[in-house]
Chain A
């Protein structure tokens, strides 16, 4: 059953059903704990650690006068979205399919696509929560500059979420099991984070690497976020790269996603 034709709006279940879905799916996230730690906790903990290292708070000429912490702020923001897109969405959805949960739901008036919708909403909220905590910590505790171009910052965040969640949905579409989804997600997770500059900040990457980074979703994301923090509107190329990933992976995911 492909997602494209199984959404039949002929008779929609009571709207309260979506509320109940959000409620139960959030309960699962909270009770699982590991999801919350990976999705929200990890970037926050890294922010606290990096912020406490004096060397991270010294302006560097190699970083055009920025501190390492300045450079890491967008990386940590991008990281939280990466965590959720790779480990929040795909294993849960693949696991639901593997366990027959989506199949069972397809025998009720609830369209299984609503489960997907609820997952997207919950992971989106987790991402926003994580980003807000990281930003508040950075600005209020470690005296980082607040994003000078808030509109561009929000746009960059939304595009990053669109790109990463689309990749996550695609992984959920191709992975047959929970374990497979976790494996494929890991294969994406670390390279994406590498090009985002978690290990080598973008300004310090060799030119060739930097060039590749610009064309990865998270590399483009960090570039756009960094720009929005400093003030100028992000380069169109970085926004287009993210939009491109969102469209391509989103399209393929919708075409290939199976409910059973």
Chain B
């Protein structure tokens, strides 16, 4: 295993190089390398059993890697655990809390572990749990439990937060509320690693992300870059207020084709497609109404990079059972 020891860059908060982890004869993670910049939301996207959870478990010190190097804020998760736990907040997949404690009591308890924690009441407000402070944990809905679990990862005001499948099992409204919460926490300067198998979540939240499959990273980049790698390009659909000649648009380097469906015009292309189309039309005195744009999705990217869909309908929902799914590479 080559040991890449670049000089530490101050803006890199998490640096993973050639990470490898096996469970008995199963290779769960192989040659995984990526780094997370300060203030960034970094996504790890892939199907169940791809090795996402194993990767973050190594980063948070819960598992000992079999190879490679991990630095989190300059610390080695295995050797510097005590220091690391002060600075890194972790939300684990499917971990329970005592049912007979009230929300406020649980937050107070976890708050007491840290040197410079956030305020409990302020936190309840941000989480939309202000009226649930006195509710017993066992009486909370799935979404509320999940938000509390995220809150516990953030109550110590960590520099880095690791959130594993944070919106699994949530209804759409709760998911959007959680996304808003994540963005507001990032705006306060916390870097984040999000593990998810939801491509819409990754697309919405992540500045950059790694697509993982069978324990390996298949691509890293911004959601836009990854989608473009898939070759799907972009598509703009609109209704013009005046007729115009297709050639006005096909002449643009960004545009690959123009189609008309009734009153709708559909333009395919890449790059800064929307800007190019709208400004060209505007220059010709044409207004575009009902503008809709579609990008090739991460889903498309995933399919084109791995040849398999992101969502396997038969996949076990619990990545913890990854050994049983047999989707891992046999050594």
User: Which A residues are closer than 8 A to B by beta carbons?
Assistant: 8, 10-11, 13-14, 16-17, 19-21, 23-24, 27-28, 31-32, 96, 99-101, 103-104, 106-110, 260
Within 8 Å by CB of B83, from A10, A20, A104, lies: A10
**Cα(A46)–Cα(B110), bound, Å:** 40
- Residues of the B chain whose Cβ atoms lie less than 8 Å from the Cβ of A8: 81-82
Interface size on B, residues (CB 8 A): 31
Q: Is the CB of A108 within 8 A of B156?
A: yes
- Residues of the A chain whose Cβ atoms lie less than 8 Å from the Cβ of B114: 13-14, 108-109
User: Which B residues are closer than 8 A to A by beta carbons?
Assistant: 60-62, 80-83, 85-86, 88-90, 92, 94-98, 100-101, 105-106, 108-110, 112-115, 152, 156
Within 8 Å by CB of A16, from B62, B81, B112, B152, lies: B112
Q: Is the CB of B96 within 8 A of A32?
A: no
Q: Is the CB of B85 within 8 A of A103?
A: no
Closest 10 interchain pairs by CB?
A100-B95, A99-B96, A11-B82, A107-B90, A20-B112, A31-B100, A17-B112, A10-B82, A104-B95, A110-B113
B85 nearest CB across to chain A (Å): 5
Q: Is the interface of B mostly helix, strand, loop or mixed?
A: loop
- Residues of the A chain whose Cβ atoms lie less than 8 Å from the Cβ of B112: 13-14, 16-17, 19-20
Residue of A nearest to B111 (CB): A20
Q: Is the CB of B115 within 8 A of A14?
A: yes
User: Can you list 7 residue pairs at the A/B interface with Cβ under 8 Å?
Assistant: A11-B82, A17-B113, A24-B101, A24-B106, A104-B92, A108-B110, A109-B82
A118 nearest CB across to chain B (Å): 11
A8-B82, A32-B100 known; A107 vs B60 contact (CB < 8 Å): yes
Residue of B nearest to A114 (CB): B113
- Residues of the A chain whose Cβ atoms lie less than 8 Å from the Cβ of B156: 108-109
- Residues of the B chain whose Cβ atoms lie less than 8 Å from the Cβ of A13: 112-114
**Cα(A17)–Cα(B114), bound, Å:** 8
Q: Is the CB of A108 within 8 A of B95?
A: no
**Cα(A107)–Cα(B82), bound, Å:** 9
Within 8 Å by CB of A28, from B89, B100, B113, B152, lies: B100
Q: Is the CB of A109 within 8 A of B98?
A: no
Q: Is the CB of B108 within 8 A of A100?
A: no
- Residues of the B chain whose Cβ atoms lie less than 8 Å from the Cβ of A21: 109
Q: Is the CB of B83 within 8 A of A24?
A: no
A17-B113, A103-B62 known; A109 vs B85 contact (CB < 8 Å): yes
- Residues of the A chain whose Cβ atoms lie less than 8 Å from the Cβ of B62: 103, 106-107, 260
Q: Is the CB of A27 within 8 A of B101?
A: yes
Q: Is the CB of B113 within 8 A of A101?
A: no
Q: Is the CB of A24 within 8 A of B86?
A: no
Task: Contacts A11-B86, A107-B85 known; list 19 others, CB within 8 Å.
Answer: A10-B80, A10-B82, A13-B112, A13-B113, A19-B112, A20-B108, A24-B101, A24-B109, A27-B101, A96-B98, A99-B95, A99-B96, A101-B98, A103-B62, A104-B92, A104-B97, A107-B92, A109-B86, A260-B62
